[in-house]
Amino acid sequence: MASIFSLKKIRFCDIINKIGKAKLKQNQEKKRVVILGGGFAGVSASLALSEYIGDNPEYEIVLIDRHDYHLYHAALYEAATTEHRQIAARKVKKTVTIPLGDIFRKRSVKVFKAFVEKVDLGNGQIMTDSRVVYFDYLLIALGSIADFYGIPGLDKYGFTLKSLEDAVMIRNRIEDIISKKDSGQIIIGGGGFAGVEFAGELRNLIKHECKAHGKKPENFKIMIVEGAINYLPGLSEKVSKLVAARLAGLGIEGRFSTLLTHAEKDFLTLNNKEQVACDLLIWTGGVRSCRLPVLEDLERDKKDRTAATEFLNLKKFPNVFVAGDDACILDPQTKKPLPQTAQEAIHQGRHAAKNIYRLVQGRPLLPYHSGPVRFVIPVSGKYAILYTPNLIIHGLFGWLIRKTADLRYFLSVLPFFTALRYWLFENEIFMKND
C-alpha cells in the first residue's frame, strides 16, 4: 500500500514540477522592458510601449517609481500657494498628483513601487530597496534634483519646489511667518519658469494670510534674485518684459545680474556683498541629474546627465535608453543639450518607446528630433503668456490656453472622464487662490 501511495505522490509531484518548470520557462522567455521613473518621460514611454507591445504575451512592461503617483510639476506653484484653511494637505495632493494605478488601469503595464538604488547595466539588473528586477530593455527617466551650485548654506536654508512635500512645507512656512511677524521678506532664487510662476501666485497667498491674521500685505516683500539680465533668460525679450511688467505691478522686486553667494538662517549675501534679510528662501535656480548609481562608467555632462546617442540609447549599451531631465541629448543644430522641460521629457519618452519597439523587432532605430517649442507661463491669477517662436499671446486668453493645455495633458494619460474629473477638481481648488 505504501509503495502505491508514494508512487502516486511522485506522479503528482512530477506534474506540479512540470507545470512549475513550464511556468518558469514561460517567465524566463518573456522579454522584460523596464522603465525607471513615473514622471513625464517614464509615463509617456510606458503608455506608448503598452500601445506597441502591450498585448504581446512574449513581453512584459514594468514601471518602477518610488511613489505610487505621477507628479504634475506644472501645477506645483499653485499647490505651494494654496491656503491651508481652505484646502487640507490631503486635498493638495489630489491637485498635483495622479495615481499611477489610474493611468495604467486598463494597460498592460505593471507598476512597481520601489526606490531604485543601483543599476548593473552589464548584467541587466536593477537593485531596488525591496528586490532585484531583471531587464532585457531599459529606459532610465529618473528626472532631476535641485542644483545648489555649491553655494554655502543654500541646501540648509533654502526650500526647493520639486515635490509635493516641498509645496506643502512652503505654504505651511508662509502661514507660520505671517502668523508670527508683522513684516518679512520672501526671496526666490531663480527667475525661470518655476520662480516667476510661484512669485506671482505667492502674492495672492500673502494677501489671504494677512487678511486671516490681521496683518498688512504690503509689509511682506517678495524679491526674485536672477543671475541673467532679465526673467526667463533665453526665451524671448518680449516675454521677459511682459513678465517683468506683470511682477513689478504686483510689487515684486527683481534683482538681475545678481547671484546668491551665501545663505544664512535670516539673511542672504549677494555677489555685490550686500546682505538682505530673508525669512524664507525658495530655491528654483537650477537642476541637475539625480545621478542614479550605475555600476558602469557612463559618459555624463557637467549637470551629471547621461550622454545619449541620437537614438536616445547609450553607446555602450544599445538596449538601455535615457529620456527627460536625466538625459543629455544634443540639439543637432546648436550642439547644446536640449532643455529640461516636461514637453521635451514627454517627447523623448515617446521616442524612446518607439525605438525600444524597433529594437525588439530588429528594425533600425530612428534619430530623435525635439518637439515644438511652446510654453504657457502663468503669472498670477487669470493671466498667462503663451510663447511660440512665431506667436506671443498674453492675458486672460493666455490663461485659457494654459487651462486647455492642462486638460490636454490629463486626457493624454487618463481615460476621458477621469481626466475631466482631475482637471475640474484642480481648477476648483486653484481658483480659490486667485
Ligand X SMILES: Cc1cc2nc3c(=O)[nH]c(=O)nc-3n(C[C@H](O)[C@H](O)[C@H](O)COP(=O)(O)OP(=O)(O)OC[C@H]3O[C@@H](n4cnc5c(N)ncnc54)[C@H](O)[C@@H]3O)c2cc1C
The site for ligand X (CB under 6 A) is made up of: 37-42, 64-67, 71, 73-74, 76-77, 115-116, 141-143, 161-162, 193-194, 290, 324-326, 340-343, 345
Q: Between 41 and 53, whose beta carbon lies closer to ligand X?
A: 41
Pick the closer one to ligand X by CB: 138 or 269.
138
Which residue lies nearer to ligand X by CB, 238 or 374? 374
Sheet of strand 132-134: strand arrangement: 116-120, 125-128, 132-134
**Least distance to ligand X, CB of residue 113, Å:** 8
CB of 378 vs ligand X, minimal distance in Å: 8
Residue matched to cell numbers 536593477: 126
100: left (phi over 0), alpha (psi -120 to 50) or beta: alpha
SS (H, E, C) the chain: CHHHHHHHHHHHHHHHHHHHHHHHHHHHHCEEEEEECCCHHHHHHHHHHHHHHCCCCCEEEEEEECCCEEECHHHHHHHCCCCCCCCCHHHHHHHHEEEHHHHCCCCCEEEEECCEEEEECCCCEEEECCCEEECCEEEECCCEEECCCCCCCHHHHEEECCCHHHHHHHHHHHHHHHHHCCCEEEEEECCCHHHHHHHHHHHHHHHHHHHHHCCCHHHEEEEEECCCCCCCCCCCHHHHHHHHHHHHHCCEEEECCCCEEEECCCEEEECCCCEEECCEEEECCCEEECCCCECCCCCECCCCCEECCCCCECCCCCCEEECHHHEECECCCCCCECCCCHHHHHHHHHHHHHHHHHHHHCCCCCCCCCCCCCEEEECCCCCEEEEECCEEEEEHHHHHHHHHHHHHHHHHHCCHHHHHHHHHHHHHHHHCCC
Q: Given the complex with ligand X, which of 66 and 156 has the nearer CB atom?
A: 66
Task: Output the smallest distance, CB 314 to ligand X, in A.
Answer: 16
CB closer to ligand X, 269 vs 306: 306
The residue (of 240 and 269) whose beta carbon lies closer to ligand X is 240
Is the CB of 311 or the CB of 375 nearer to ligand X?
375
Please count the other Cβ atoms lying within 10 Å of the Cβ belonging to residue 127: 17
CB nearer ligand X, residue 73 or residue 350: 73
* Residue 180 Cβ vs ligand X, minimum distance, rounded to whole Å: 26
Closest residue to bound ligand X by CB: 39
Q: By C-beta, is 69 or 357 nearer to ligand X?
A: 69
Torsion of CA 266, 269, 274, 278, to 10 degrees: -30
**Residue closer to ligand X, measured from CB, 60 or 406:** 406
Q: Nearest approach, Cβ of 165 to ligand X (angstroms)?
A: 11
Q: How far apart are CA 362 and CA 57, in angstroms?
A: 18
Identify which of residues 40 and 231 has a Cβ nearer to ligand X in the complex: 40
**Least gap, CB of 55 to ligand X (angstroms):** 25
